[in-house]
Structure 1
Amino acid sequence: MTNASATAQTTLDDVAVLIPAYNGQADVNLTLASFQESALVHILIVDDGSTPPIVAPALPNLKIEVLRLAQNSGIERALQTGIDALAQRGFRYAARIDAGDRAVPQRLAKQRAYMELHPRVAGLGMWTQVVSRAGEPLFMLTPPAEPQAIRRQRFFRSCLAHPSMMLRIDAVRTVGNYRAAYRSAEDLDLFVRLMERYDCANLPELGLYYELNEGGISATKRRRQIGSTLRLQLRYFNPLNPYDWLGLAKNLLHLLLPYRTLQRVKQKLLAPRAGH
């Protein structure tokens, strides 16, 4: 066992889980209950003006703080506020997850150990199992692990599953934090800026159960998300990278196809086959 691994098993004092939440108390409770770590887990819930306010449940091995915003301002501001609050509290790492998603046991310890050994990595994701609201497995997201491949394919596929990410807080603030310039694509905007100065990587193992929610941002604000993604693609477009061309074509196709049609296509392409 390496020293970094041993340290990760005994302390997570410099890691905090960052959860933006707007209503959905039951989803918040489900997500919090999924964390199973050997050390105390620090949680910061940014309540984005929920009615009634989000309440921290009493759960073992979790230290939960709720930071309430006076009014609903959107996920971009909630995340920006959360990162700044964690920096003020002295945390080094922010582990993202969304209400309704579930963490795999020891996710935080594994990510922290990796980031301690790879100081150039500012954002670290994990493979993600996409599930229905009822918890049924739909398909797996298994993006590339290496920073170079992620950088090349950043606009072609979802290389970094936002709710699976662990982020270096100082790096996030150095590049300008989350921002509302590309609404509903605030994660991709941040990752692109991080990759201009640092690396982003993935641990090639399951770290998250992601709930496919037709009330979520990817469904309800889909056209805004695609529009923001296209603007990012055009701003950072590299004509020598074939994946940038493919990503541009893919997003234009997304504008034409209904959300449910795209999900059915993903399930057929990515669902596990018999015998595999």
Structure 2
Amino acid sequence: MPSSSSASPDPLSDVAVLMPAYNGQADVERTLASFAESALVRVLIVDDGSNPPIVAPTLPNMDVEIVRMPQNGGIERALQAGIEALAARGYRYAARIDAGDLAAPGRLAKQRAYLEAHPNVAGLGMWTQVVSREGAPLFVLRPAAEPAGVRRLRFFRTSLIHPAMMLRVDAVREVGNYRVAYRAAEDLDLFLRLMERYDCANLPELGLYYELNEGGISATKRRRQIVSTLRLQCRYFDAANLYDWLGLGKNLLHFVTPYTALKKMKRALFAASAN
């Protein structure tokens, strides 16, 4: 069982990378190879019914375990099973990442240190460089760092980037774990429930290279994701928060705008803000 002592000679002994995977063996290997930490990196892959099954790669400074789902049931159920498996193994922190994305050096140690120093923060993200499938940089996501800003902007912009998050396993289970109630928006559903009892924040430095994948959930399940987000906005809507109104309008615009047009608009806006 991982040690819970912050004075442990193995500073990442209570941290595990949590990665759901459905096929994509090469992406799994590339993502795991990107981790560069001074301590052993522990990984739990939840194989969501891949055919052929995901094989644990042999990488230096890394211990990889695979939990296999009996059949493909979706990312929501895979993450739920992953959190329960980490809890059973005694891990305190789950560091999310998706196959195809890359970790910045030292990400795990930085996030763990912050969470150790801020016990009321249940989820911690980082800034993210968005890249093309070929690795070309597109734009950088720099969400608000402080919990108040994350909470205020929760529906207006992406305040917490899921594959860049480190989560307290006990807090995630306390609020009901990942759920299938809001398909394709399981991350927002979890973050909103966490923020009812805890804070969520971001480290204002680069932690992830996020691959803009045309086969990802935001593209292939876009309509389902928008509907789930709208349902969450209605449930948690704060009429006194201007950004909740702006976020509602933004999501309705997404609902009626074709994905290709929306992608071009986003790239143009981020390019303009970077200049």
Question: What SS does structure 2 have at the residue aligned with 1:271?
Answer: helix
Aligned pairs for 1:132-211 within 5 A? 132-211=132-211
Matched, 1:247 2:247: yes
Contact in 2 for aligned 1:156/1:246 (Cα 8 Å): yes
Query: Which residue identity does 2:159 align to in structure 1?
Result: C
- Contact preservation (8 Å) 1:140, 1:271: no
Query: Counterparts of 1:44 and 1:87 in 2: how far apart (Å)?
Result: 12
Cα separation, 1, equivalents of 2:43 and 2:8:
17
Question: Taking structure 1 as reference, are residues 7 and 145 closer, same or farther at Cα in structure 2, changes over 3 Å only?
Answer: farther
Whether the aligned pair in 2 keeps the contact of 1:101 and 1:211 (CA below 8 Å) is yes
Farther off after superposition, 81-90 or 8-17: 8-17
Q: Is the 8 A contact 1:102 1:209 kept in 2?
A: yes
User: In the alignment, what sits opposite 1:3?
Assistant: none
The within-5 A match list for 1:11-90 is: 11-90=11-90
Distance in 2 (CA, whole Å) between partners of 1:190 and 1:264 is 29
Please tell me the residue identity of whatever aligns with 1:96. R
Ranges in structure 1 where 5+ consecutive residues have no aligned partner: 1-5
| CA-CA distance at 1:8 after TM superposition | 8.8
Count of matched residue positions in the alignment of Structure 1 and Structure 2: 270
For the 8 Å contact 1:8–1:110, the answer to whether it is kept is no
Q: How big is each residue's C-alpha offset from its partner over 1:172-225, in whole Å with a ceiling of 9 and x where there is no partner?
A: 000000000000000000000000000000000000000000001000000000
Alpha-carbon shift at residue 87 of structure 1 (Å): 0.2
State the 1:271 CA deviation: 2.5
Tell me how far apart the structure 1 counterparts of residues 182 and 158 of structure 2 sit (CA, whole Å).
Answer: 16
Q: 1:205 to 1:7 in 2, by over 3 A?
A: farther
> Structure 2: how far apart are the matches of 1:157 and 1:8?
38
Q: CA deviation at 1:273?
A: 7.2
Structure 2 counterpart SS, 1:177: coil
Return the alpha-carbon distance in structure 1 between the equivalents of residues 271 and 211 of structure 2: 15
Task: Indicate the SS of the match to 1:196.
Answer: coil
> Post-superposition shift, 1:9?
8.7
CA displacement at 1:258 relative to structure 2:
1.2
Q: Does 1:271 align with 2:265?
A: no
After the TM superposition, which parts of structure 1 deviate over 6 Å for at least 4 consecutive aligned residues? none
Q: CA deviation at 1:269?
A: 1.3
TM-score (norm 1): 0.95
CA contact (8 A) 2:155 2:248 kept: yes
Q: What's the % identity of the aligned pairs? A: 73
Whether contact under 8 Å (2:10, 2:40) holds in the other structure is no
Q: CA RMSD in A?
A: 1.4
Residue deviations 1:218-252, cap 9 Å, x none? 00000000000000000111111111100100000
User: How far off its partner does 1:267 sit?
Assistant: 1.2
Indicate if the aligned counterparts of 1:19 and 1:44 stay in contact, CA closer than 8 A: yes
Take 2:76 and 2:273, find their aligned partners in 1: how far apart are those partners? Answer: 37
C-alpha displacement at 1:38, in angstroms?
Answer: 0.1
TM score, norm. by length of structure 2: 0.96
- In 1, the alpha carbon distance for the partners of 2:102 and 2:8 equals 20
Q: State the distance in 2 between where 1:24 and 1:193 align.
A: 31
| CA offsets 1:81-124 (integer angstroms, 9 cap, x no match) | 00000000000000000000000000000000000000000000
Q: 1:8 to 1:201 in 2, by over 3 A?
A: farther
SS at match of 2:183: coil
